[in-house]
A and B are shown apart, each in its own frame.
Chain A
Amino acid sequence: MTSDVIDIDAQSISLDIKSDIYSSGANGALQRWPKVECTSIPALLKASTVPSWRPGWVRPKTVKLHFPEAVQFLPPQQPAQSGELQKIEMAKPKKKDGEQEPKKATRIKPPNDALSLEDRLFYILQPPLETMLAGQELIMPFEPFPHQYEGIAWMFSQKSALLADEMGLGKTMQTITAVRLLLRSGHIRRILFICPKPLIPNWQREFRTWAEELPFTTIEGDTARRKMIWNMPGVPLLIANYELVSRDLDGVPEEELPKFDLVVLDEAQRIKNRDSKTAEVVRGIPRKRSWALTGTPIENRPEELAALFEYMGVVPPAATPDLKQLSRISSIYVLRRTKDLVMKDMPPRLDRDELLELSPAQKLAYQTAEKDGVIKLNEMGDEISVQHVFELVLRLKQITNFDPFTGESAKLERLIANMEEIAASGGKAILFSQWTKVIDWLAARLTQFNPLVYHGGVPTPKREPILKEFKENPSKHILLMSYGTGAVGLNLQFAGYVFLFDRWWNPAVEDQAINRAHRIGCKSTVIVTRFISKDTIEERIDLVLKQKRQIFEAVLGQGETTSYSRSLTASEIFGLFDLKARSGKGMKKVQPVVPSPDEAAA
């Protein structure tokens, strides 16, 4: 290719044009002069972009949870007058800078068997118990202890519950408060309390104390009146005893039975025999929640728990769960705390066994009675029954209390010596005996201490005033009680001394008696004195009971001291006199676990 220059209008254009062939195939040498045209276009007012985006949000869906309507009760007509009662106020410890610490919060947890989310959220969204109680303006003799808050929160959420706290830890208060909160939250509206007959006044009193605005009705009176009460609408709370429940509801067609949101059994070991009429009737009551209270969930055999679980609806009818299954079910449905574990701040209880030599006259009477008695028993041959041996035991035990001919009593002498010290320091003591006769005998000989008598022979209306006088009158230094009437349900924590003048067959009952004084609210150490006559039947019984002590500890764990009865079996009764138990009826247990007032008064 040559290289020339052409002049066009005096403008020089290089003719050195590249003639490479482009990849498109066009020849660069053939390009022509570019033709350029200029036109004007109007400017855009808005810039447009593609693609466009708008923040479109879909509104989320919502899920609603309904809460039952709260139930309002009329406030009590008169404020509590007792100087001891005070409106609950939470402790408000102050920080150094004057700000308050947040109060302790006991949260209500959903129960393990709450399957629906709605049920679980209901409990999760409840305020802490302390807040709930403060909002209820409860009148309480004292602020609940932490273990009681936990117990209330646990019961609140449980449809099936066995509260088996050791005696004195406040099962009554926890139950009433949980019931009260459930009522107020609208979760339950109709409740039936069933308890042993002697405890009816106690529950009435406790309800007036802990839930004074809560109206309750006691099932009592003739058949027509009771029938009317059972079916009376608008009564949130019914209190009945086991006997009347069994009598009134046995045989009633299911559709005619009164229906309840909650049934509470106090001293629930009463239905430990699942085939008993009482147990069957109680299980048949239509209810949504089933609670049971007892300080002795196992009296003799772990299987007794199965009867309570059947009532609670957590095992099938007539089921016989083994120990492993019982233990697993217990971990879900049983709440049990012992004083050792939860009441570290409570004053200790000092137990002392006073081994006493019988007085000479007592010793003579005792030896004669024992010798004659054993001879007589041996002469009976195969006719002998546990009842015969039992009668001899009772007779000997009475002699260890005092000689019926001379009135000599080593126990009385020691008691008077102790009481002189107690009275001099202004203290108060409770004495328990198996026999009302012994109590009356003691009352006549302890006049210098102004004794008060409380046993099955005292008419019910007179009992409360006796307790009141013992509490308020500083000159009354000793209260003489029978195990049957005084062992359960009474709050006597102002007494610092307990005497067990004679021993009951069942240490669990003795513990119940002792716990009248050694319970929440007691200010100082409670000294418990057990009188045991040396070289007598009392010492032998004590030995047998101690040997049985460890049998049930494995079932309910460490710290168990009271959840078993350790009652003597027939063969052990025979063994007290080196007699062999006879077959058949001889193996039957001879002693009820909880003495009835009638028994004690006999």
Chain B
Amino acid sequence: MSSTDKAEQVRLGFLAAIETRDRAFVGGLLVTDRFGRPLEFQCTTPVKPNRTQELLYGPTLVPFILGELLGKTLLDRLQVKPHLLFVDRVETLQVRSVATIPVLWALERTSKEATDKPSVDIGLNRCVFADDFESDRDVIKKHAAVFANDANLREPLERVSEALKETMASAGARVA
């Protein structure tokens, strides 16, 4: 297989979550080809932590729910597996601890957030990845070659958020 063929087959995952007004979390994961064309989409049912869980998990609750609960479940259920996973918030980087692929938090290039964390520039975005996985840098750079200079990696995440809102609206739930 030529390198061009491999580039053609690079698949990207976009994991986003929304929170409903009653503090439940819903996650969605979209897998696309390198042009952003959707290949598969999965979303979860809402997950709502109880009071005990809130107290005992403390500040680790949201990273746990987004990363290990929603993120891992979605990754496991996917039939089309991505090579890179982009997430929409820093808490979801937690999914890297249970995933086998690099996980990147896509930020605007000009964003002042997480400047102390390791990152790579892809398209129009600065992509932060988990501290403990510095070795991901090489893998990310290898796949990043397929992106156009004007690629906006936050855009597919917005699609996922919109799809989750549409799903929740159709189920009668109110989104926070």
User: Do these two chains interact?
Assistant: yes
Measured CB to CB, the residues of A under 8 A from B are 53, 55, 57, 59-67, 70, 90, 92, 99-100, 102-103, 105, 110, 117, 120-121, 124-128, 131-132, 134-136, 185
Known contacts: A102-B152, A105-B155. The answer to whether A55 contacts B56 by CB under 8 A is yes
Neighbouring A residues of B150 by C-beta, 8 Å: 90, 92, 100, 102-103
Complex CA distance for A53 and B55, rounded to whole angstroms: 12
In contact, A127 and B40 (Cβ under 8 angstroms): no
25 A-B pairs (CB sep. < 8 Å)? A60-B46, A60-B47, A60-B69, A61-B44, A62-B74, A63-B42, A63-B44, A63-B167, A64-B40, A64-B42, A64-B79, A67-B38, A102-B152, A117-B166, A117-B167, A117-B170, A121-B167, A124-B162, A125-B38, A125-B41, A127-B35, A127-B38, A127-B159, A131-B36, A132-B37
**Is residue B2 within 8 Å, beta carbon to beta carbon, of the partner chain?**
no
Residue-wise, chain B 10-41 has the 8 Å CB interface mask toward A (1 for contact) of 00000000000000000100101011111111
In contact, B41 and A64 (Cβ under 8 angstroms): yes
Neighbouring B residues of A121 by C-beta, 8 Å: 41, 163, 166-167
User: Which applies to chain B's interface (DSSP): helix, strand, loop or mixed?
Assistant: mixed
**Is residue B107 within 8 Å, beta carbon to beta carbon, of the partner chain?**
no
4 new A-B pairs (CB below 8 Å) besides A60-B44, A63-B167?
Answer: A55-B53, A59-B73, A110-B166, A135-B34
**Is residue B111 within 8 Å, beta carbon to beta carbon, of the partner chain?**
no
In contact, B155 and A60 (Cβ under 8 angstroms): no
Residue-wise, chain B 127-146 has the 8 Å CB interface mask toward A (1 for contact) of 00000000000000000000
Contact among A60, A63, A99, A136 with B70 in the assembled complex (CB-CB below 8 Å)? A60
In contact, A62 and B124 (Cβ under 8 angstroms): no
In contact, B43 and A62 (Cβ under 8 angstroms): yes
Neighbouring B residues of A124 by C-beta, 8 Å: 159, 162-163, 166
In contact, A70 and B37 (Cβ under 8 angstroms): yes
Contact among B37, B41, B45 with A60 in the assembled complex (CB-CB below 8 Å)? B45
CB B115 to nearest CB in A, in angstroms, measures 16
Complex CA distance for A132 and B35, rounded to whole angstroms: 7
Known contacts: A60-B70, A105-B155. The answer to whether A53 contacts B44 by CB under 8 A is no
User: Which applies to chain A's interface (DSSP): helix, strand, loop or mixed?
Assistant: loop
Neighbouring A residues of B57 by C-beta, 8 Å: 55
Q: Which 9 A-B pairs have the closest CB atoms?
A: A135-B35, A127-B36, A60-B44, A65-B41, A61-B45, A125-B38, A62-B77, A102-B152, A62-B42
Contact among B45, B70, B149, B159 with A125 in the assembled complex (CB-CB below 8 Å)? B159
**Is residue B173 within 8 Å, beta carbon to beta carbon, of the partner chain?**
no
In contact, A127 and B56 (Cβ under 8 angstroms): no
Residue-wise, chain B 45-81 has the 8 Å CB interface mask toward A (1 for contact) of 1110000110011000000000001100110010100
Complex CA distance for A66 and B34, rounded to whole angstroms: 18
Neighbouring B residues of A117 by C-beta, 8 Å: 166-167, 170
Complex CA distance for A52 and B167, rounded to whole angstroms: 38
Complex CA distance for A55 and B64, rounded to whole angstroms: 11
Complex CA distance for A100 and B121, rounded to whole angstroms: 13
The interface centre, meaning the residue of B41, B43, B46, B56 with most chain A CB atoms within 10 A of its CB, is B41
Complex CA distance for A65 and B156, rounded to whole angstroms: 16
**Is residue B114 within 8 Å, beta carbon to beta carbon, of the partner chain?**
no
**Is residue B109 within 8 Å, beta carbon to beta carbon, of the partner chain?**
yes
Complex CA distance for A120 and B164, rounded to whole angstroms: 11
Neighbouring B residues of A66 by C-beta, 8 Å: 40
CB B17 to nearest CB in A, in angstroms, measures 11
CB A111 to nearest CB in B, in angstroms, measures 13
CB A114 to nearest CB in B, in angstroms, measures 11
Residue-wise, chain B 103-123 has the 8 Å CB interface mask toward A (1 for contact) of 000000110000000000000
